[in-house]
Copies of this chain bind each other. A is one copy, B any other.
Amino acid sequence: MSIDNKLQELGITLPEAAAPAGAYVPTVATGDLIFVSGQLPIKDGKITYTDKVGDNGSVTTEQAQEAAKLCAINGLAALKAHLGTLDNIKQIVRIEVYVNSSQGFTDQALVANGASNFLKEVFGDAGLHTRLALGLAELPLNAAVELGMIVEKQS
């Protein structure tokens, strides 16, 4: 099954890739690697998950998992705009999950699972990536989660 069909089966419609808010670009390819700019949990042009995650914040771990998944969806939109089709992705190499963490919140790995499980579901073994899960003090536009991605394309 193609990745496009798999996304359809999961009920996911990729948005138009967002235009960068500055003198940078959504993706850069070098050799077989594609680097993806930091993705925020934006839907229909608006950030849908803002503020800090955890007991001392207003975002729950479950909501932050949804935010991480939404970041991954936006990353795939950027990659589709670059590659034409997501079937040209050979492997998700690395994701970096930055969680806007309230004091004492230490479940960044659970939040990151929101992105990891989604990528595994969509790409199968090609979606098995390396990962960093980190607790940030602040994030742009007060987003609850930011996601970096590096993928390998088919040669």
Judged by a CB distance under 8 angstroms, whether A96 is at the interface is yes
A26-46: CB near B (< 8 Å → 1, else 0) gives 111011110111100000000
Q: Tell me the number of copies of this protein.
A: 3
Judged by a CB distance under 8 angstroms, whether A14 is at the interface is no
Return the contact of A135 from the options B91, B137, B148 (Cβ within 8 A).
B137
Contact yes or no, B135 A135, CB < 8 A = no
Contact yes or no, A101 B131, CB < 8 A = no
Judged by a CB distance under 8 angstroms, whether A13 is at the interface is no
Closest-CB distance, A124 to chain B (whole angstroms): 11
Contact yes or no, A32 B31, CB < 8 A = yes
* Set of chain B residues within 8 Å of A132, measured between Cβ atoms: 37-38, 96, 98, 146, 148
Contact yes or no, A134 B136, CB < 8 A = yes
Closest-CB distance, A150 to chain B (whole angstroms): 7
Contact yes or no, B35 A130, CB < 8 A = yes
Give residues of chain A (48-78) contacting chain B, Cβ–Cβ below 8 Å: none
Q: Chain B residue with minimal CB distance to A151? A: B30
List of 3 A-B pairs having minimum Cβ-Cβ separation, nearest first: A135-B138, A137-B137, A38-B132
